[in-house]
């Protein structure tokens, strides 16, 4: 059963909060947020309506058309201007986005609006916050965003669902949005043109997918570091490849830190003395590979933190020290940092996935695994051990590699060349999210192989921390004897690794 906890829109967001948004979450709008929202809305109204002595100030999306049609007047009625904002953006296609991504995106959107410079009414943010205490989730198609002017099309579907239009989920069931609102005790959201544009004109879907993907890859990186150590211990490898002097000579900080963590994992291990002088690269070069991944992930850390803190919208309304304040039209909806970061994350994911697959291949190969039976089968030929799992990991790696083509370099002009450069950050981030899930399954597959290796004759780990990890895997997963479908076991191993919060 889902449980609730509490988040304030005045607090910083982080990936842990975004994960919790997939379930029931109490989101609060405090007095400071209400004050900011009231001030921002006053600035907007003053600039839009003027003081009655002269013409109103042109404001994109409030008094004008949208995109390339900015030079034309919008609709005079504010409720009609909301429809004018949203109707033409109903052009998405494809399967629905994962509900966790959609709810995380709307939490990011709510926090951006709550900073008070988008000019929206406080009621809009408060009503959006109410959604998180329910199971209501807009149905949002995957395809349609170019990640410039924000995630216009996916956020338009989310906004329309909050108005009772389109489709949504309630208690996990897809239905017309009006029915989902009623089922969860929510009222349709009423918006004017500024409110509607502010809800769609940001990169919140991109940021949500990137942050969740990055968090999952970081978890997999920690898991793979620990599993590499367990592999080395089971095989009886000499740990000289982790030598501190060797790592200082390499000079890269990520490798040095990774090797130090691996030395901690392998503290107390006893080399067997039967291994080759130099291990295959999937073991011997693991601190260099995992360390380079750590250095890259630290860069993505900074982009995710900035994206979660940013105000992604256009235009923005800033109060003045005296008088009416100002409206600034610019490009704070342009998701280029996230696009670059997601492409880098995809590259890291591909190499980590390759490492996990190569380590499993080493483990099931009787010519390299220290004499264990082929495919770790208890009775080869009568049983087939991890043969199916290895086939699946090959497919996972191929899928990850196919999706690792950079998206941020694929810019295409659109919108009558108003959007003449676009970052495609949405595609990059959603693709990274898919790849991160496969990487977790690759880690689970390797963990299953390590658990099975001990069952078919590998030594028990001699390093206490490695032994503890093996014991946890053994308690959760039965040995493969006789053969059985292993899909659920791979997922169990992946969840165990994620839940153990490995250092």
CA–CA distance, 312 with 199 (Å, rounded to integer): 10
Residue 113 near residue 124 (C-beta atoms within 8 A): yes
Residue 12 near residue 308 (C-beta atoms within 8 A): yes
Catalytic, 299? Answer: no
What's the CA dihedral at 203, 206, 209, 212 to 10 degrees?
-60
Out of 60, 143, 250, 299, the active site residue is 60
- Reading the block at residue 422, the tokens are 């676009």
Q: Residue 415: name the closest of 54, 89, 43 by CA.
A: 89
β 316-318/167-170 pair status? unpaired
Q: Residue 21: name the closest of 172, 150, 152, 208 by CA.
A: 208
Cβ neighbours, 10 Å, residue 1: 4
3-state secondary structure of 328: strand
Residue 325 near residue 345 (C-beta atoms within 8 A): no
Count Cβ neighbours within 10 Å for each residue of 314-329 and write b for 16 or more, e otherwise.
bbbbebeeeebbebee
Residue 353 near residue 322 (C-beta atoms within 8 A): no
Residue 338 near residue 207 (C-beta atoms within 8 A): yes
CA–CA distance, 284 with 235 (Å, rounded to integer): 13
Residue 422 near residue 338 (C-beta atoms within 8 A): no
Residue 29 near residue 133 (C-beta atoms within 8 A): no
Please enumerate in sequence order all residues whose Cβ is within 8 A of that of 143, keeping only pairs 6 or more positions apart, or say none.
Answer: 92, 93, 94
- Reading the block at residue 230, the tokens are 């367990």
**Which residues are tagged catalytic?**
60
């Amino acid at each position: 059963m889902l449980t609730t906890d509490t988040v304030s829109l005045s607090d910083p967001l982080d990936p842990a909060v975004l994960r919790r948004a997939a379930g029931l979450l109490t989101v609060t709008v405090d007095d400071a947020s209400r004050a900011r929202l009231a001030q921002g809305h006053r600035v907007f109204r003053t600039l839009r309506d003027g003081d009655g002595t002269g013409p109103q100030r042109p404001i994109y999306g409030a008094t004008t058309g949208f995109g390339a049609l900015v030079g034309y007047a919008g609709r005079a009625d504010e409720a009609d201007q909301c429809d004018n904002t949203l109707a033409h953006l109903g052009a998405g296609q494809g399967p629905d986005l994962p509900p966790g991504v959609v709810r995380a995106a709307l939490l990011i959107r709510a926090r951006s609006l709550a900073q008070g410079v988008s000019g929206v009414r406080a009621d809009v943010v408060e009503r959006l916050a109410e959604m998180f205490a329910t199971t209501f989730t807009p149905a949002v198609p995957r395809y349609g965003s170019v990640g410039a002017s924000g995630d216009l099309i996916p956020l338009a579907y989310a906004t329309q669902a909050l108005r009772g239009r389109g489709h949504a989920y309630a208690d996990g069931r897809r239905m017309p949005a009006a029915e989902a609102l009623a089922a969860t005790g929510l009222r349709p959201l009423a918006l004017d043109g500024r409110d509607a544009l502010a809800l769609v004109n940001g990169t919140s879907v991109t940021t949500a997918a990137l942050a969740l993907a990055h968090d999952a890859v970081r978890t997999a990186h920690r898991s793979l570091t620990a599993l590499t150590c367990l592999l080395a211990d089971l095989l009886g490898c000499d740990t000289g490849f982790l030598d501190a002097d060797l790592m200082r000579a390499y000079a890269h900080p990520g490798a040095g830190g990774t090797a130090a963590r691996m030395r901690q994992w392998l503290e107390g291990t006893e080399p067997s003395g039967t291994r080759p002088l130099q291990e295959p690269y999937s073991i011997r070069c693991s601190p260099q590979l995992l360390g380079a991944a750590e250095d890259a992930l630290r860069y993505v850390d900074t982009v995710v933190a900035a994206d979660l803190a940013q105000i992604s919208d256009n235009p923005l309304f800033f109060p003045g020290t005296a008088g009416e304040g100002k409206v600034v039209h610019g490009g704070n909806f342009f998701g280029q940092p996230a696009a670059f970061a997601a492409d880098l994350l995809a590259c890291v994911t591909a190499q980590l996935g390759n490492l996990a697959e190569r380590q499993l291949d080493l483990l099931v190969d009787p010519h390299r695994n220290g004499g264990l039976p082929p495919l770790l089968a208890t009775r080869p030929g009568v049983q087939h051990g991890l043969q199916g799992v290895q086939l699946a990991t090959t497919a996972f790696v191929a899928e990850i590699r196919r999706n690792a083509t950079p998206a941020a370099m694929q810019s295409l002009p659109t919108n009558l060349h108003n959007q003449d450069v676009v970052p495609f950050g949405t595609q990059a981030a959603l693709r990274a999210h898919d790849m991160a899930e496969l990487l977790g399954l690759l880690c689970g597959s390797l963990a299953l192989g390590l658990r099975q290796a001990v069952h078919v004759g590998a030594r028990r780990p001699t390093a206490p921390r490695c032994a503890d990890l093996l014991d946890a895997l053994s308690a959760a997963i039965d040995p493969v004897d006789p053969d059985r479908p292993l899909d659920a076991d791979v997922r169990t191993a992946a969840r165990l690794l994620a839940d153990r919060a490995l250092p």
